[in-house]
């Protein structure tokens, strides 16, 4: 081998691959005939697709109201909200499609309806738009080709033969009460009259980093019309922030979806308890747990809201343990953090820490009760008019008091709780609450003053999830604590009368957990 910095040119051939282009080679596996006879026969003798129009979906009026809020916020500007494209998992296979939450929130489209779709809010004279707003909304998407076309059977990503039927433009329009147009018209819709608003152009705001084709289209238009890209990026960021803040308060339809997701998640926890005896016998028992919950998520909902944490023993002290490759040992605690995503894309997020064989040990119960008391303190602090951050402060104060009582703090309780102390956070390093909705960590781009410093308001949905995590290698605690991780997490709806625990159907106290588990095993003969 040459040691020269510059290798011979022959080591790096620059000739293109010969023969069939690389982009076409994935089609080799299909072995599809290419004869005219085959094409003619494939295009013939298919029943016509249904043109029946569905009724207007319940979500349509709520989505229209959300679009009106965006219209009110950004009059005179063109708003571009992509759904996002397919994402490649490996080679020519894609992940299951899920649209961006901002797009789904403004259209009402969940599931895998319209990859590559883009919602455009076109500015009009104030008050003359949809519902008396400042814009008219149009959904641009790729309608499936007719059954007499080659794409019907030849396109593995978009052909009906491969992926099944999708609603037509007319059907989507009827279902969502939303104008539709062909995706081929999108470039003109985005770029027409675009430019600097001060000299008569139409300014564009884009939800960025969702669809890179949309990013490129808008950026090219901005360059061609003299728009300052740095300033435009800042305007785009404000749009992302606004869409996130729009989800801080859930409407009645969204709350129903959250309740359905929570109910399905509770059922998934029941399935996990039923599976625990088998998990104990399996070399990767955590995967048995994960699979039991996933089955319920797919049966009752769209998917998991996020990767399940099924952490047994010391793995429960790793906050985002999603490998789930460990054994489930007799005497362990199993920390299960899981949520079902409904078909509307709203997700639950619940955690319980279960004694694998049905009984907490004395030290496990002590730690569990401290976490439960902290959760209850957070719940008591979650009152209308209080700040979101007050929930966290109340919960961690209780944890600190218990750590002090157990002699684990290296300083006094007062020193630990002081801003310059915080020693107790060694064993509870995460926040106690986050907003919940279409994203498991919903509203993440909202301004600090509306999120962390925001006022708890009717319609908010958030978690309360304190925990204590004593790692096996933590020499700052006695040996009996090591290898124990406990978290309890519930989904909370704020009402005018105070907080409601949406996940209260899942037992929380140690006695109730033990009774619940024994009842499931007794009813299944385990």
Q: What is the pLDDT of residues 148-171, one digit of tens each?
A: 888 888 888 888 888 888 888 999
- Mean pLDDT across the stretch 259-287? 98
- Mean pLDDT for the chain overall: 93
**Residue 164 backbone phi and psi in degrees, to 5:** 90, 180
Q: Which tens digits make up the pLDDT trace of 163-194? A: 888 888 999 999 999 999 999 999 999 999 99
15: CB partners within 8 A, 6+ apart: none
The pLDDT value given to residue 525: 43
Asked if the model's pLDDT at residue 108 lies above 70, the reply is yes
Question: 88: closest CA among 152, 32, 156, 25?
Answer: 156
Report pLDDT for 1. 44
Determine the average pLDDT of the residues in 427-449.
97
Say whether domain 59-246 belongs to CATH 3.40.350.10: yes
Structure confidence at residue 147 as a pLDDT band (50, 70, 90)? confident
Determine which of 94-103, 315-324, 407-416, 495-504 has the lowest per-residue pLDDT on average. 94-103
pLDDT of residue 490: 98
Give dist(CA 50, CA 92) in Å, integer: 30
DSSP per position, 29-43? GG-----HHHHHHHT
Contacts 24+ apart (CB under 8 A), 152-156: 152/42, 152/43, 153/32, 153/42, 154/32, 156/30, 156/92
Cα distance between residue 42 and residue 38, in whole Å: 6
pLDDT tens digits for 456-503? 999 999 999 999 999 999 999 999 999 999 999 999 999 999 999 999
The pLDDT value recorded for residue 21 is 80
Does residue 435 have a pLDDT over 50? Answer: yes
Domain 252-524 CATH assignment equals 3.40.50.720: no
What was the pLDDT predicted at 20? 74
Q: What are the sequence ranges of the domains in the chain?
A: 59-246, 252-524
pLDDT at residue 82, rounded to an integer = 97
Residue 2: pLDDT band by 50, 70, 90 thresholds? very low
- Model pLDDT, residue 3: 47
Q: Give the helix/strand (H/E) hosting 353.
A: strand 350-355
pLDDT-derived band at 111 (thresholds 50, 70, 90) equals: confident
pLDDT band at 143 (very low <50, low <70, confident <90, very high): confident
* Interatomic CA distance for residues 171 and 394, integer angstroms: 50
Q: What is the pLDDT of residue 357?
A: 95
Q: At residue 515, does pLDDT exceed 70?
A: yes
Mean predicted confidence (pLDDT) in 73-78: 97
Largest Cα span, the chain: 86
What local confidence, expressed as pLDDT, does residue 131 receive? 94
Q: Is the pLDDT of residue 120 over 60?
A: yes
Q: In what order do the strands lie in the sheet with 204-206?
A: 179-182, 135-141, 118-123, 78-82, 204-206
Whether residue 8 is predicted with pLDDT greater than 80 in this model: the reply is: no
Share of the chain above pLDDT 90, in %: 80
Strand 78-82 with 204-206, pairing: parallel
**pLDDT at res. 157:** 80
Give the pLDDT mean for 281-309: 97
Do the domains 59-246 and 252-524 sit in the same CATH topology, yes or no? Answer: no
Quote the pLDDT of residue 526: 43
What pLDDT was estimated at residue 10?
54
| pLDDT, position 148 | 83
131 φψ region: left (φ > 0), alpha (ψ -120 to 50), beta (else): left
In the predicted model, what is the mean pLDDT of residues 233-239? Answer: 96
Cβ neighbour number for residue 183 with a 10 Å cutoff: 16
């Amino acid at each position: 081998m040459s040691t020269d910095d510059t290798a011979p040119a022959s080591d790096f051939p620059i000739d293109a691959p010969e023969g069939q282009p690389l982009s076409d080679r994935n089609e080799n596996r299909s072995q599809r005939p290419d004869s005219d006879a085959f094409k003619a026969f494939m295009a013939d003798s298919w029943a016509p697709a249904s043109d029946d129009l569905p009724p207007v979906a319940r979500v349509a009026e709520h989505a229209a109201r959300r679009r009106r809020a965006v219209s009110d916020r950004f009059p005179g500007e063109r708003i571009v909200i992509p759904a996002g494209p397919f994402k490649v998992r490996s080679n020519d296979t894609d992940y299951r499609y899920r649209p961006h939450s901002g797009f789904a929130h403004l259209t009402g489209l969940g599931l895998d309806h319209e990859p590559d779709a883009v919602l455009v809010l076109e500015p009009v004279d104030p008050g003359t738009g949809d519902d008396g707003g400042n814009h008219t909304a149009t959904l641009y998407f790729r309608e499936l080709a007719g059954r007499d076309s080659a794409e019907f059977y030849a396109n593995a990503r978009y052909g009906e033969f491969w992926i099944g039927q999708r609603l037509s433009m007319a059907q989507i329009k009827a279902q969502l009460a939303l104008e539709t147009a062909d995706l081929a018209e999108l470039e003109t819709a985005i770029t027409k009259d675009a430019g600097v608003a001060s000299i008569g152009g139409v300014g564009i705001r884009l939800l960025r980093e969702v669809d890179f084709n949309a990013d490129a289209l808008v950026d090219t238009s901005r360059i061609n019309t003299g728009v300052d890209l740095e300033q435009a990026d800042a305007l785009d960021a404000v749009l992302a922030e606004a869409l996130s803040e729009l989800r801080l308060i859930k409407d009645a339809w969204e709350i129903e979806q959250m309740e359905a997701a929570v109910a399905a998640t509770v059922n998934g926890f029941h399935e996990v308890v039923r599976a625990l005896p088998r998990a104990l016998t399996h070399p990767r028992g955590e995967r048995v747990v994960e699979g039991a919950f996933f089955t319920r998520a797919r049966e009752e909902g769209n998917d998991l809201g996020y990767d399940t944490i099924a952490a047994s023993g010391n793995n429960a002290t790793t906050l985002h343990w999603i490998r789930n490759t460990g054994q489930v040992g007799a005497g362990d605690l199993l920390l299960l953090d899981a949520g079902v995503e409904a078909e509307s894309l709203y997700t639950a997020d619940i955690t319980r820490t279960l004694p694998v064989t049905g009984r907490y040990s004395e030290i496990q119960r002590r730690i569990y009760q401290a976490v439960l008391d902290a959760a209850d303190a957070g719940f008591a602090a979650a009152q209308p008019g209080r700040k979101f951050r007050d929930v966290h402060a109340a919960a961690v104060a209780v944890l600190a008091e218990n750590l002090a009582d157990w002699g684990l703090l290296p300083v006094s309780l007062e020193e630990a709780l002081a801003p310059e102390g915080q020693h107790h956070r060694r064993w509870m390093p995460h926040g106690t609450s986050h907003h919940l909705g279409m994203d498991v960590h919903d509203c993440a781009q909202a301004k600090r003053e509306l999120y962390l410093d925001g006022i708890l308001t009717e319609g908010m949905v958030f978690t309360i999830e304190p925990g204590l995590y004593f790692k096996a290698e933590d020499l700052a605690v006695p040996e009996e604590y090591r290898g124990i991780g406990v978290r309890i997490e519930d989904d909370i709806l704020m009402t005018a009368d105070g907080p409601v625990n949406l996940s209260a159907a899942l037992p929380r106290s140690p006695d109730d957990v033990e009774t619940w588990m024994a009842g499931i095993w007794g009813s299944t003969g385990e």
